[in-house]
Structure 1
């Protein structure tokens, strides 16, 4: 987990960063060099015929690893369960109530504050769906616990690059972006031969859009029945156009922006 990064030009802290692998005395020592904690937050839910249930955790955890290899930060164990009621139409999906999820994430982060963490960055791999909950968590951590807290939805971090390199018209769930990232990070878990294109309705309601980079001007959500009607396979969009090269570009964009944030936080302490 702590081998040299693939990029020989990437700076490296040279220090262990995975909280779960350290002793409490090693955590004490680590707090001498950093007060920032990266918390991968995802979900365990269906991702079509071609992707595993853990996509939304695998992505932020791997991106967090790359950030911690280059910038001074600790990496928390990931949060595997999220707000996924709209995916409950397929087996293997776990979902929490919004209240339970918010309380759990907030408690995890607040406990880190008690042993010396000052900055929290929530790396959200289940972006769009649980953005509202994590925005509330960030506000609570800042106002009630005195932590410098940030919510980082992965799609926001790589949106500019995604818009430039995409070839599919729609990538809403388990399609071009997520499949490309998984082909870069964990290709052995991607069943390319099972991927299929699923087109959403040609028209959506005004101010809404079935696309991760779409023009969604109002808050809205899908139910499990909605998803069941929209997709037999489970994905929405075209995963067949995904490539590892696209994934590499998306991951690099996210890592670069997160490193900038972490470095600034540490410089300010």
Structure 2
């Protein structure tokens, strides 16, 4: 593998030679949306990008340019949020994947930085890629890969959006973009059964928030307490995601 694994930086001849060494591509899928007073709009894209780079340093795979716009209608109550329709998003992501398949990529991992909310769309994309396009596609929601570690290290009772977990990830990966002096804790009212406002909660049934509902939940934009976030927590979350994703890539490349 060349030292440069980002396909946007390769010539077509370099890429052609690289595909002889690997048939796996990581596609970071994020969003551009408000993340409270202390985090930038690009969190959901920056994090999977950084994860993808670290996986590619360990395993034989390529990294595609990110998809920076996602399904974020519930965050439009604050400026800076960009949202696209669910069908538009699914079609776009699928078209990107089928396009790379035409030049030899067999395995696509969709690294989802806009977890929970965007999961349904990417599950449909993966199903269609497998059933209709014959590609080995995988949805990799970051929160699922660090779930057990997050439960061990968490300090806050509520961490849903732009709170302890996302803030810790950003402190570990992009500390210069985090403004901890602006971080504020917010609380949420009691949720209905099976619909906790927590990334590790009892989110057992399908539900979605409107922009109006989100605005009622949080005046700052974040939901939960980011003030206890640490670099150490972020590093443990990052390592969990990178090592587990790399293990999947290695298995795919060895199969």
TM-score by length of 2: 0.99
Q: Is the 8 A contact 2:7 2:62 kept in 1?
A: yes
Q: Distance in 1 between matches of 2:222 and 2:244?
A: 28
- What's 1:125 paired with? 113
Query: 2:199 matched to 1:212?
Result: yes
SS of 1:117's equivalent? Answer: coil
- RMSD between aligned residues: 0.7
Q: Distance in 2 between matches of 1:133 and 1:217?
A: 17
- What's 1:85 paired with? 73
Q: Distance in 1 between matches of 2:136 and 2:107?
A: 5
- What's 2:168 paired with? 180
* Among 9, 23, 47, the residue aligned to 1:21: 9
Quote the offset at 1:53 in angstroms: 0.2
1:165-176 → structure 2 map (5 Å cutoff): 165-176=153-164
Q: Is the 8 A contact 1:14 1:69 kept in 2?
A: no
Quote the offset at 1:14 in angstroms: 5.5
Query: 2:128 matched to 1:140?
Result: yes
Quote the offset at 1:57 in angstroms: 0.3
1:149-168 → structure 2 map (5 Å cutoff): 149-168=137-156
Q: Distance in 2 between matches of 1:136 and 1:240?
A: 35
Per-residue displacement from partner, 1:198-223 (whole Å, max 9, x unpaired)?
A: 0111x211111000000111110110
Per-residue displacement from partner, 1:92-143 (whole Å, max 9, x unpaired)?
A: 0000000000000000010000000000000000000110000000011111
Query: 2:27 matched to 1:58?
Result: no
Quote the offset at 1:144 in angstroms: 1.4
SS of 1:39's equivalent? Answer: strand
TM-score by length of 1: 0.94
- What's 2:177 paired with? 189
Q: Is the 8 A contact 1:176 1:238 kept in 2?
A: yes
Q: Is the 8 A contact 2:2 2:18 kept in 1?
A: no
Q: Distance in 2 between matches of 1:54 and 1:15?
A: 26
1:6-45 → structure 2 map (5 Å cutoff): 15-45=3-33
SS of 2:65's equivalent? Answer: coil
Q: Is the 8 A contact 1:161 1:249 kept in 2?
A: yes
SS of 2:138's equivalent? Answer: strand
* Among 157, 176, 186, the residue aligned to 1:198: 186
- What's 1:49 paired with? 37
Quote the offset at 1:16 in angstroms: 1.9
- What's 2:231 paired with? 244
Per-residue displacement from partner, 1:217-254 (whole Å, max 9, x unpaired)?
A: 11101100001101000000000000011000000000
Quote the offset at 1:15 in angstroms: 3.1
- What's 1:264 paired with? 251
The number of residue pairs the alignment matches comes to 255
- What's 1:222 paired with? 209
Unaligned regions of 5+ residues in structure 2, if any?
none
